[in-house]
Amino acid sequence: MNAPTAPTAAPARHRHHPHLRVPHPHAQVRLHPSASWVVPLVLGIFVGGYAIFIDHNEGTPILPAGLLGLVAAVVVGALCYLVGRVQSTLMPELRSAAYGAVFGCAFGFLYSLSEHSVFRCSMMGLGGGLAMYAASFYVFHTHPAD
């Protein structure tokens, strides 16, 4: 006895409002041109700062830890910038693999700074990279670019 007890309302009619522009659900999002270098810069600063934090907490003096963080920030920022520049020319599968590889390498490197074994760091980086591959694969296939 799950019948509705109230009468259902008639469906609302859609009125066309020319001043309201709703984007197509599959329309490609156009980012601001500065996003091509701001996003890699922010990611590089995050990874470099976290590398400094981990390395300094493991007992390394601040100058060598800072140098390590600077190198990590430059490498991760450059890789993110390169992936961002070529991602529009790649198939979704290769684009997902590129995102997964960059994330997995960065994650494994940061995990290795806390003095775990090489095998464990490699497995953590591989797991993180596969998770990023799966997530980006899903996003690229459910939100196709026009």
Give, for all 146 residues of the chain, the pLDDT tens digit: 566 666 566 555 655 555 555 555 555 556 666 778 899 999 999 999 999 999 999 999 999 999 999 999 999 999 999 999 998 899 999 999 999 999 999 999 999 999 899 999 999 999 999 999 999 999 998 887 65
Per the structure, the count of domains in the chain is 2
Which of 89, 108, 125 is the endpoint of a domain? 89
Could you tell me if 54 and 85 lie in one domain? Answer: yes
User: Cβ-count burial of 97 within 10 angstroms (0-12 exposed, 13-18 middle, 19+ buried)?
Assistant: middle
Residues 80 and 104 in one domain: no
Question: The whole model's pTM is what?
Answer: 0.74
C-alpha span between 116 and 70 (Å, rounded): 22
Do 77 and 49 reside in the same domain of the chain?
yes
| Owning domain of residue 97 | 91-145
Q: Does a structural domain hold residue 81? A: yes
104 lies in the same domain as 74: no
Q: Residue 81: CB partners within 8 Å, gap ≥ 6? A: 36, 37, 40
Same domain, 118 and 108: yes
